[in-house]
Structure 1
């Protein structure tokens, strides 16, 4: 009887929880659509379910992570799932540390607006903020989380950071150093001893950088290996912190060992793909010299390049050192595994929302079907950089198999055009209105076009220019420009107009040539004959008809901000093919760019620029066509075109008449100032010479600091200068600016 009752109760219980589903409904569900939610169930309308199946379905919905609670209700076969959604984080703020740094929100906080509230994620973000502050060398930092429920039900999260104190390294000792000068370690380590006036540029502030403590010993050891100390050992630094004053003493225990000299250089090719003699020609290490790890790495890279240029894209150069500790010599071994030759299967371009694909492809030296070349790959990157159309570019190598790869070209578009609508008022010229439109990559076609109109009560200037660097995607280029201007001065007026046209050809990757023609007319009128400067020589109307020839070499890696390479150009102008002017001009320009990041650890750039111009009077050289110095491009600190040989009229007035030869050069050092805003600081020293018969007739210089800014409307330079060798009568200036020029 008892067994029968137990069976009966069991059947009744199963019958209670076994229900037929007539309908399935959802209440409070936002993040999942009803069709998706239905597909997640293991049953459908008309099926019979029990409590186990129902509980499993509730758990499945809850695991999606969108809900704080999920439950179900059954009413006469109608199944309804009810959801309590998690709150949405609608605002995220960071106070007390890098408050306006959007990158920190994405890289450190890692919580986006619109994400679901999750307490564990907030705690993880808090920990990351604390760790990031600690990496800056600050200890005892505290981060608090404030949560505020807004009227719409969403949550505002605020991370409040109270930065701790910075630890300053007061003393840094090196124990066991005999063979090297410890001063050279300061060039490579991040944690340095505090120096007097450490806040001043170029001095060490002594702030401890915790993230670099583990790497500094490796940097010191690498320095030793550049001088042949292959057995050098550098222990992690011993740090003694005074928490009362937040200062620290550090010391390194170093065992130098002996200097190793190169006993031999071996080249081991797994398969012989290149003459060994060609490899030895590019190796800088020499037998008998002290070993240098930096030269060793450079040689390995050069070997890799020369073989990769033979289409062995996956070549491996494994350097090895066979040390003889008895006589302290080392045999250098380069083991070369070339692999198979590799062909380019496809080239994929991305990121060019504006620039046409063909504009990018024509700058690439590798295309589908071509054999791989590492030099071609690098030259392609540099060629894209010289366009000036992109903020940056990368070319990724995607391996398909041992003998095929795809190239993925990724570019980031940069603003290439600007519209200027401006005006002003001057006591001399009155109201000035300017309208200008210019684009170096109009409609993404690679064509440069600009138009400008400027008018005031005394001046009118109109100009139009258009140029195509690759006519019909060929190696030929073409340009056309026209201008007209009128200026009214107190004692005379000048009306000028002109036109120029030309074509060029790119002979190689870095060498191009140009042939052009220009014609201009310059007419003086309303000359005040009673003026003290009314010497007829200075107001003779003339026409100029000139042939222009130019050649240029350019292997830099970027148009606006190159970090490597140099440019050399030589131009000639012959006037006298019609018109009144008859002269010959030569213009020589040189620029060298060196990125210093590998040497000093941050993105500094050294630039040297020089120019030599010469003019010969073969009939008539107008004063307006002679050379003048001053301003950005020659000697800063002096007004533009103000440095020149002079003449004095009968009333003692000084008149600048220009020179027939000039040489100027500039040395510049550019530093990152606000990288995220694309601002850089530049310091410079200029010096120039000018004269008629000799360059020594006039000599002026200038120095100063400036701001280089890639603004939304184009690159801008703001220069603050001081003149050098200033003489009586010189026209100096302390501020200049320019827009759109190469830095």
Structure 2
């Protein structure tokens, strides 16, 4: 370790040769005052950074203890090999001269001996940015400095081209050791030395080992499996693809706390969990032994509330009547959920910073526990300012108009949650958060943070198929167009046998009201071989939000089309539609939707009624009724989410033929999964779907997050049928599994479905790919 020296002797100079050196006996009896401070030897750290850290001012009495204390504080900076100090006597006092020997500026970091872990992985673990900085420093322990100096001292925390303190290098050593431990190595040793301006870490990697077995001793009332489930340290298991699970001692010691908490949650308040005993066998196998003394299990004797001024006891415990019974064994999970319920209820009234302490009072003699909730509801607050952050594309007003709170409003938790749900519903953001900041005793500012997602889809290219021949296409769909919250869609496709062109626009909050205006203009032409279908149409829409969760709207469709060149080989449903047609239709809908997140929903309902009628060459009237219910698991309090959807629709002619596009084609990705499109309804002898006058569909799904906010798994069961007469109703059933992947562009569903009672000759399995969301 570098040493520092205090040298108290006279240094002659040309200007002071006539000054006599006092005798040591006389000097001991004298008191010397500081005249000045001189700093020498600094190359990389500026003297103005060091001088404020020397607590000796001009005229101060200089003592050996003060100088030694100053040197200790300077050495704590960690950027010096040695620090020496000299005194120079003058007629007016003494000068202190500090001579620093700095550690070198590190321009590069190298590693020696790393064969199993790459150099890049080691650099990533250290988190060093390979760019130069100019200044360095850190603040000594218990030293007070001004903000400007503190900024300078902290300016060099990353990057190369600077001096690394001894403390920082030691932390880097620990990061290297931790990385090797995570990779399963033990007995790793790390040292370092300087090679000019290169900091070299010399690594002795040691040997690799894995967790072979975890042995639990003394547990009688909680099984080994339950205990090991709460542990992050896992043993080797081939079928779970854990071939060489590493031992991280830090994680293992945290596992001891997890085991203890498991017992406490089940009422074992006297439990003792020993520190783990680790044995290395055969040079590569860890055996971990954990001893538990369970002690007695306590029962719940009572629940009390202190300072509960706004709710009755029954109101708080209403949700827990089935699961909570006095005299049963203590259940820590229910106790915590009651605490959360209290906080939720009080924050809904505006006491946003409510605190609840749950005290457990033990009766060790009778093995009983009483839980007392002490409620500190705090104060209510009003919104002062709302600041928007993170919206590099969205304009502020797009976010503000979805917020359910405004300056001057009472700040309530339910308004935050509703605002978050509305912003997620736009589909523009991956993450949304709120950070309240106090500005006075009863006011706070609310910082709203959004993480924007990619909302544009652009496709340009060419394609060929037997159906459409050679075609060229270009399309763009842009949500949040120019940051306004509007949606623009434009598609252009040109080919000898295929054309599909359209332009659409949806304008949100027209006239600064919750009013949406939209239109779509489309032109299509497809030569199917046995017939040609073409149509030209225009469809304007208008909708309005009239309550918090309610929206209603109307739409018109003006369409001209033709099914021409129809051969005798064409499907019957095409033959009966042959010829030109005009269609003028109008629809009305009403919707109530309080789903919390349209991409990964966890709770809420969505109900819609749509009525439609049309006239022209063809005429019809139509109704569709649909409902979705999404609920989290409130029975076993798991992360599972249950989704149920039901839909019924009918269409009837008035006097003429029903347009082909208005029939119901049941079967496929969004109806009964496992079927091909339209095959869960009527079809002709060539297995072409005909469409039906009625549809009845039920969908049930159980979802579970695998990687939060990115990957969900689910199982489903569907039932449904398209039918013309109710006497023909006989539901088809399917079941399957799937994955939902949330990508920056859109959620993707991948699923496998199997029909349990398919009609003869119809495919009963299907792998599906859905761009969008089913629920």
What is the TM-score normalised by the length of structure 2?
0.74
The structure 2 residue matched to 1:625, chosen from 642, 662, 665, is 662
The 1:288–1:223 alpha-carbon spacing in structure 2 relative to 1, beyond 3 Å, is closer
Which residue pairs with 1:662 in the alignment? 696
Is the 1:559–1:742 Cα contact (8 Å) retained in structure 2? no
What is the TM-score normalised by the length of structure 1?
0.76
Aligned: 1:86 with 2:124? no
The 1:688–1:99 alpha-carbon spacing in structure 2 relative to 1, beyond 3 Å, is farther
Residues 191-270 of structure 1 correspond to what in structure 2 (within 5 A)?
Answer: 191=233, 197-199=239-241, 210=252, 212-224=254-266, 229=267, 231-236=269-274, 238-239=276-277, 241-244=279-282, 245-262=285-302, 265-269=303-307
Residue 729 of structure 1 deviates from its aligned partner by 3.3
Deviation per CA, 1:23-49, whole angstroms, max 9, x where unpaired? xxx9997997x9x8999999xxxxxxx
The structure 1 residue matched to 2:17, chosen from 6, 12, 15, is 12
Residue 599 of structure 1 deviates from its aligned partner by 5.6
Residue 303 of structure 1 deviates from its aligned partner by 2.2
Residue 487 of structure 1 deviates from its aligned partner by 0.6
- Of 162-171 and 357-366, deviating more is 162-171
Is the 1:191–1:212 Cα contact (8 Å) retained in structure 2? no
The 1:213–1:160 alpha-carbon spacing in structure 2 relative to 1, beyond 3 Å, is same
Which residue pairs with 2:87 in the alignment? none
Cα-Cα RMSD: 4.9
Which residue pairs with 1:477 in the alignment? 516
Aligned: 1:109 with 2:112? no
The 1:503–1:186 alpha-carbon spacing in structure 2 relative to 1, beyond 3 Å, is farther
SS of corresponding position for 1:255 = coil
Residue 493 of structure 1 deviates from its aligned partner by 0.4
Residue 134 of structure 1 deviates from its aligned partner by 3.5
The 1:283–1:585 alpha-carbon spacing in structure 2 relative to 1, beyond 3 Å, is closer
Which residue pairs with 2:671 in the alignment? 634
SS of corresponding position for 1:363 = coil
Residue 396 of structure 1 deviates from its aligned partner by 1.2
Taking the aligned partners of 2:757 and 2:537, their CA distance within structure 1 comes to 37
Residue 442 of structure 1 deviates from its aligned partner by 1.1
Taking the aligned partners of 1:444 and 1:211, their CA distance within structure 2 comes to 50
Deviation per CA, 1:418-469, whole angstroms, max 9, x where unpaired? 2122332224423232211112111111111111122333111112222234
Residue 582 of structure 1 deviates from its aligned partner by 0.8
Aligned: 1:393 with 2:432? yes
Which residue pairs with 2:457 in the alignment? 418
Taking the aligned partners of 1:476 and 1:705, their CA distance within structure 2 comes to 37
SS of corresponding position for 2:17 = helix
Which residue pairs with 1:140 in the alignment? 186
SS of corresponding position for 1:214 = helix
The 1:260–1:142 alpha-carbon spacing in structure 2 relative to 1, beyond 3 Å, is same
SS of corresponding position for 2:397 = helix
Taking the aligned partners of 1:191 and 1:139, their CA distance within structure 2 comes to 15
Aligned: 1:566 with 2:642? no
Is the 1:523–1:540 Cα contact (8 Å) retained in structure 2? yes
SS of corresponding position for 1:257 = coil
Taking the aligned partners of 2:355 and 2:516, their CA distance within structure 1 comes to 41
Which residue pairs with 1:361 in the alignment? 400
Unpaired segments of 5 or more residues in structure 1? 1-5, 16-25, 43-58, 72-80
Residue 167 of structure 1 deviates from its aligned partner by 0.6
Q: How many residues align?
A: 680
Taking the aligned partners of 1:688 and 1:467, their CA distance within structure 2 comes to 33
SS of corresponding position for 1:494 = strand
Taking the aligned partners of 1:342 and 1:502, their CA distance within structure 2 comes to 41
The 1:378–1:457 alpha-carbon spacing in structure 2 relative to 1, beyond 3 Å, is same
Is the 1:542–1:579 Cα contact (8 Å) retained in structure 2? yes
The structure 1 residue matched to 2:175, chosen from 109, 125, 128, is 128
The 1:84–1:402 alpha-carbon spacing in structure 2 relative to 1, beyond 3 Å, is closer
Is the 1:706–1:720 Cα contact (8 Å) retained in structure 2? no
The structure 2 residue matched to 1:697, chosen from 721, 727, 730, is 730
Which residue pairs with 1:74 in the alignment? none
SS of corresponding position for 1:382 = helix
Residues 439-588 of structure 1 correspond to what in structure 2 (within 5 A)?
Answer: 439-529=478-568, 533=572, 536-539=575-578, 541-562=580-601, 564-578=602-616, 580-588=618-626
Is the 1:66–1:86 Cα contact (8 Å) retained in structure 2? no
